[in-house]
Amino acid sequence: MANPPIFLFLTIFIATLLCCCSSFEEEKRTTFIVQVNHNLKPSLFPTHTHWYQSTLSSLLSTKTTNGTTSKHALNNNNPILHTYDTVFHGFSTRLSPSEAKKLQTLPHVTALIPEQVRHVHTTRSPHFLGLQTAAKTGLLRDTDFGSDLVIGVIDTGIWPERQSFNDRDLGPVPAKWKGRCVAGKDFPATSCNRKLIGARFFSAGYEATNGKMNETSEYRSPRDSDGHGTHTASIAAGRYVSPASTLGYAAGVAAGMAPKARLAVYKVCWTGGCYDSDILAAFDAAVSDGVDVASLSVGGVVVPYHLDVIAIGAYGAASAGVFVSASAGNGGPGGLTVTNVAPWVTTVGAGTIDRDFPAHVKLGNGRVIAGASLYGGPGLVAGRMYPVVYAGSEGYSASLCLEGSLDPKLVKGKIVVCDRGISSRAAKGDVVKKSGGIGMILANGIFDGEGLVADCHVLPATAVGAIGGDEIRRYIATAAKSNHTSPPTATIMFKGTRLGVRPAPVVASFSARGPNPVSTEILKPDVIAPGLNILAAWPDRVGPSGVPSDKRKTEFNILSGTSMACPHVSGLAALLKAVHPDWSPAAIRSALMTTAYVVDNRGHAMLDESTGNVSSVFDYGAGHVHPEKAIDPGLVYDISDSDYVNFLCNSNYTTDTIQVITRKKADCSGAKKAGHAGNLNYPSMSAVFQQYGKKKMSTHFIRSVTNVGEANSVYKVTIKPPVGMKVTVEPQTLSFRRVGQKLNFLVRVQARAVKLSPGGSSIKSGSIVWSDGKHTVTSPLVVTMQQPLDY
């Protein structure tokens, strides 16, 4: 069921925007995305754009409460920011509350959606995933490395000169392609080639809110001034480049998941963020251009689907056959942090690979604390110990090493311990350096846990976990009390690149976790993929630390985030689409989910980096992607547009709010046949029981699987029930006569109440596994028992 508090909050929020008008309307304009019933266009208008402009002209020429004529803040002659005609019908514009209220009364206007500001979620991985270039068969060879598939990357743009985007030995641009290479500042149309076949930028929404962009620091073109988009694009589809490294770390061959796939970039993220009106315009263009996969490493606040522009744009894309993958977010390790949770989006969390970059702290008392770093400049003198100080005694800002917070007299010539939080990790090192410090130890807080992210610091520095940080601070405090007879000292020992790390994969500490805050019946994230310390292409004019003072140049950089995990899945989806061109986006997601694994390279249950304990389905979803198995999953759980409509009906969305998402009038009269929202034909199953004093509770799931393996195959079920629960499946055998045949099965779950305090919960997981002896098709099953606060 959709989350009532979210609906209530948004209802109040919109009502406030629409009703609170005053004589200061000019200062109160905000951006709205306006959905229009495009079929109602009067014939006297040659295009929908003319109709929209006429509507706004009449609206915006009215008198304001102070008697002056209302003028649009952006452009009085053309107040429209973007028009949409593929994944959405309508336009975006800036409106005051009273103008929004008037516009909403027009018969052809079906919805006004307040704009959100989103933010990016910031190469050994092909080898770790089992994609071997030397193999004569397998996913890479069988797909010609993804040639002729088009991946659309919605991000910060691209640095086209990088060798990762060369077009050597590629065939002509696919005949289906209808996109463009839009020229702009420092980006001539010749920047595109047979690899980078399309490039656009969308800034109207960003500039409507922030004013004209500063073109001395940003490019009014698809060129990347941040680095994030270049990095994600090369993870998805970068060519083979050797030698590749970052400041000497991770030396080897760099390659994306689908090295011959074509790229189209849609720049929507700027210094001030990524604005919904621009993101929707990018989705609209990408689908119209003919992309096969849309990759989006961007996220924001979770809201109901009809108010979530990413969910709306992704639905239109999926309905057109485009696979959409999105990053889960970097809000982990806390629960309920996952974003981009719509069931038609493949939501990707992050895991580690079997490579790290150790840089340990040695204290004056001989203790060694494990750390990680990518510092590549002059190091500390080997064997020498340096004074170490924790600036927390100078106040909260100093403990975080914020700009201007450090006293040079206190830190000069010393290694400074800084707490994580508020400013970026690398920016703290820059503050220490400018204050005269010679090194930095970056300590995780309790919430960050033990997860370590390596950074290209501007001075000798390393990151340590929360436990290690506490030990270092205790050592400093104890040594400081010794009346300077034994002052605290430390050094940092950089160990370079380490391969063959065990255990791996591990769920990255920062990776956002479930449960799904909008639809508890849909398990999110769907899968995890490599997202910690990933090597990929990088622009010339951005230092590897991302700090403005960093003037170093590198062709590749190592970054971490679900932003890096998402394009791994985007590239894999392109490879699967190349092998199975008739598969729907839901079928591709199913193949990735049902073949995923949940054990590490030791054969043990996958761990959670933040705690070192065993991870759960809310951490990794179905598990870590396994590309070579996904190519031949045996069975898939497919989903149609009508299935999604039934899901929305059973989630208590109204016919009007469903139309905002699907662009069609919904009929919910038959949806109740599906029973409940959990009966969406998803590859995972999630149930929530509200106890309310009940002793026994039960639910069921109806599923349909399509045979994509072999004719005359027989699958038998293995049930691994959640602890303390009874699970049955009917029938227990599925006999397929032909490829493409669909068969249904029913899962019943029975649970007994458990002792919980008010507001408490208990989570148990299991699985439903179908096998014909060759294929193993695994669906996670998670059951949450909740004790309501009011009981």
- Give catalytic residue positions: 155, 228, 563
Across 574-707, the runs of DSSP E, i.e. the strands, are 635-636, 685-690, 696-707
CA atoms within 13 A on the CB side of 96: 22
- Chain-centroid distance of CA 394 in Å reads 37
Q: Is 39 exposed, middle or buried (0-12, 13-18, 19+ CB in 10 A)?
A: exposed
Q: Is 695 exposed, middle or buried (0-12, 13-18, 19+ CB in 10 A)?
A: exposed
How many Cβ atoms are within 10 Å of 319's Cβ, its own excluded? 19
Q: Is 670 exposed, middle or buried (0-12, 13-18, 19+ CB in 10 A)?
A: exposed
Q: Distance of CA 729 to CAs 566, 702, 720, 724, 747, Å?
A: 33, 10, 11, 17, 5
Round to whole Å and give the CA distance between 274 and 328: 16
Helix-strand-coil percent breakdown of the chain, rounded to 5?
25, 30, 45
Q: Is 664 helix (H, G, I), strand (E, B) or coil?
A: coil
Among 130, 125, 120, CA closest to 536: 125
CA atoms within 13 A on the CB side of 93: 29
Which residues on neighbouring strands pair with residue 597, listed in sequence order? 624
Q: Is 781 helix (H, G, I), strand (E, B) or coil?
A: strand
Contact between 591 and 524 (Cβ < 8 Å) = no
Round to whole Å and give the CA distance between 335 and 326: 18
Quickly list DSSP for 253-278.
Answer: EE--SSTT-EEEEEE-EETTEEEHHH
Q: At what angle do helices 655-662 and 309-319 cross, to 10 degrees?
A: 70
Q: Which long-range contacts (CB under 8 A, 24 or more apart) does 53-62 make?
A: 53/78, 53/79, 53/80, 55/103, 55/106, 55/108, 56/80, 56/93, 59/99, 59/102, 59/103, 60/99, 62/102
Q: Helix count (H) and strand count (E) of the chain?
A: 19, 38
Contact between 541 and 516 (Cβ < 8 Å) = no
Across 580-642, the runs of DSSP E, i.e. the strands, are 635-636
β-sheet with 386-390: strand ranges across: 368-369, 359-363, 489-494, 386-390, 415-419, 439-443, 461-464, 371-372
Tell me how long the chain is. 791
H helices present in 242-395, as ranges? 276-289, 309-319
Phi, psi of 341 (to 5 degrees): -100, 5
Q: Distance of CA 403 to CAs 463, 636, 650, 704, Å?
A: 19, 53, 51, 57
Contact between 314 and 345 (Cβ < 8 Å) = yes
Round to whole Å and give the CA distance between 80 and 104: 16
